[in-house]
Structure 1
Amino acid sequence: MRIKIKNWGPVREFEYDLSKSVIVTYGDNNIGKSYAMQVVYLLLKHLVAYARRTARFSSSSYYFLKDVEKGQALEVQMVVNFAMNKEIQIEDISEKLEDICAGKLMQRLLPEMIDSLSNTFGTYETMVEQDPTIEVTIDNKLKCMLLFRQEKIELQLDRKPTRLRKSLSEFHKSRNGKEQLDIYVYQNHVNVPVELVVQEIASMQREFSIEILRWVKNVYFLPASRSGIYAGMSSFGPILAQLSQNRPYIKGTIQIPSISEPISDYYMMLSEIRGDMQGHFPEYAEEIEKKFVLYILELRGVKRTCSSKEIQGKFETVINRFMQEEFGHIFLKDSFKYKEVFLYLVTTSYQRAVQLGKFEEYQALRARLNAKDSLANDSTLTTKPYKFRGKYYFIRREVPPNPLIRAIH
């Protein structure tokens, strides 16, 4: 499955290939990385929800006959027009069926998608003027284009042609051959062919849903990027307050402030955690509060040698500008209590230690690196204090703990 988005906020064009086991999105600040991921998340969220609803129905057409009964009868009109046209004996209706399927998809998917985008991006009305689109393709089987400015969906399915065909006998219903499906129409008797057309549309919708679920069964949003963490932390205080209440288990979902939908989904899934019935939940909450660690990483690929002054400037930018000026309303809040703050500089050799997967190897390499730590010889770098919340901190002369393998220890 490939997802291509165009003209979304700062993103001119971006493509995800979900056949890859891991996708890494990287780039400069403020180019739309988090923006793109939130758009893709919301798309997959609503596609999966729609597919699950639709895939439950068989091709018996009951679900879609309800539309016909309500007067949404494009299927009826198509068959009636064919029956009344004496000049046409055979008509390929494959594209018309795709258009009808796209219309039903638009009615059920697009409004929910637009609501989510509006809740997440406050500038949706302005964004839509850029003519944003999303294209979903699955091999050569399916292509779905969402056009948000026109509020329209275009759909192409790789299926054998479906044809309406005049019949000389009312006993001819349909013939499902290898090359095409023929639905017979006898004079003005349209009830049976209409039902067969509706069944075919239901089958197409179900195949669409099955293809989606074949690629994506569940989708979760983890606010792990810097922008995601900053947005999510503003709601983390109420979450911890709820977890800290003295009750044996959570009976309902946690109510959180109004935040963007992907981050709200993340916290709402956390709120579904259930404790056991033995009354240990307060102890669990206390352990969470004691051991919760926030990592702020600033990744840079530098091919040249950096001076001590340049490194100090980077630390000052993160601590002073990001943590105390731009996002001081989060990091300087009294409700967030810090037991300790650690500053690390991870160079290439140090990175080797952090990336090891076995604790014994990590421990051995960490000891060797600390023994010949070049930072120990740079007093200008390691003795400069950095002030944060009334305390002074220094760059530590050691390999930082690896959160990924700490649990192994």
Structure 2
Amino acid sequence: MSFLTEQPEAIQAIAGLALMVLLAYGARLVVHWILLHGFSRWIEAMQARWTRVVLHRNVLNRLEKITPSLVVQMSVAAIPYLPTAAVSIIRNVAVAVTVLQIVRVLMALLDALHEEHERSAGSLAVSTRSIKSHIQLAKLGLMLLGGIVIIAALIDRSPLILLSGLGAMSAVLMLVFKDTLLSFTAGLQLASNDMLRVGDWIEMPQLGADGDVIDIALHTVKVQNWDKTITTIPTWRLMSESFRNWRGMSESGGRRIKRVVRLDAGSVCFLKPEDVERLQHIALLRPYLEQKLQELDGANSAASRALGDLAKAPANQRRLTNLGTFRAYINAYLRHHPKIHQGMTLMVRAMEPSSEGIPMELYCFTASTAWIEYEGIQSDIFDHLLAMLPEFGLRLYQKPTGQDLTSGLRLRQGLNQD
């Protein structure tokens, strides 16, 4: 110390600054050792979720970086012969650095909270509401507030003065952050109404989106389409425009089949007795045919008593048709199908005939919502039904092609020549 007191004042000030810097970084090393070794066992022993957030490695790493600026703030005034202006500047810069590091610690806490939320959702193996948009908004607020406090510290003014100045710029701020405000409002409405979650399958044809939601952020929602492309949708557009969410289908446990088999109207006819006898060997049809034959016998007997000999005319009798019997077969087939959900709507109906034949519509739900399994079940059902058409004397409707017309023309020319 005698050597330092004998030196000029500038050398003592420089030596004091150097000693302060060494003390600041020495304190950081001490804090680093305490946080690394002192809390490591505590972190391993405690399994609470809040400990994994508060004592996250990134949080601790950023927390130790606050130490040097705090040491500078407390020790700068003790440096001998340091000008008052220099002391004020160094202290203001140290305060600004401290605020910056505090903001970084808080942002690391938000990242740790988001990471813990995602880990918990993954362990439950269910779709969950995303908090990423809220995390991003909180980070944006921290950066704005931290920026105001840092600027106020550097110019040595109260932050309230800057905040009052921002009030006059509110119109400009509203214009600059218009999309952010719209997206945040839309995100709140989506979350409060539970309209969208990560993992949901949504369709938004106007934006080319058809796939799973993989990320819900403040400004955008990312959808991975089935061709593995990514569609990015502005969050506010999900509230201003309509989209389809298939989550209800997934949660219900059944996926709808709504498809028609188009039959040739020229193949529809009444069943002959030998046809009925042959169809009675089909196990699924036997209960229907037995009940229907009893009903027809009763109706025809009543008609015979009322009409006399006129009841023998086929037009005055009730008879089975191959179309109605095929419809009953489809209904029985679906009722006994092990992969069709029996607790949901099941219906088979003949729709209005048109120039494309008679549509026979199947309306039912599979017992699985998995896409590949659903398509396999649906294909198996229609493969079977198309193969069963000849058993009922029915034909599938198909528009004639050029080859059909050419073949018919050649056949007609051959008959004319003969």
What TM-score, normalized to structure 2? 0.22
Structure with the bigger percentage of helix:
2
Greater relative CO (CA pairs within 8 A, separation 6+): 1
What TM-score, normalized to structure 1? 0.22
